[in-house]
Amino acid sequence: MDRAEIAAKVAELIAPFNKKGVTIKDASTFAGDLEFDSLTVMDFVAAIEDEFDIIISMNQQAEIETYGQLIDAVVKLQGPA
């Protein structure tokens, strides 16, 4: 999967968590723009891990603040196609 395909899939997965209907951009922050609380983050990360069959460590999660950073992390964790 390339970055665009991953971004499209993540956008689908984020929709149920996007309670305010925020337009998602690479710079959109989970805590600020989307107002995700810690439980929402855990549920969302679980959905991402299940969809892409990856594990996002707690250390990685702490470093991911924006949608773009999440896409980049998923691309990296997926490895070469």
In the chain, which stretches have pLDDT less than 70? 81
Q: Write out the two tokens for 72.
A: 């980049």
**pLDDT attached to residue 1:** 87
Q: What is the pLDDT of residue 81?
A: 58
- Alpha carbon of residue 75 to chain centroid: 11
Q: Which domains are assigned to the chain?
A: 3-78 (1.10.1200.10)
Please name the residue ranges forming H helices in 1-81: 3-14, 38-52, 58-63, 67-78
pLDDT at 23 (0 to 100): 94
Residue whose tokens read 């689908």: 12
The DSSP code for 58 is: H
In whole angstroms, give the CA distance from residue 30 to residue 18: 10
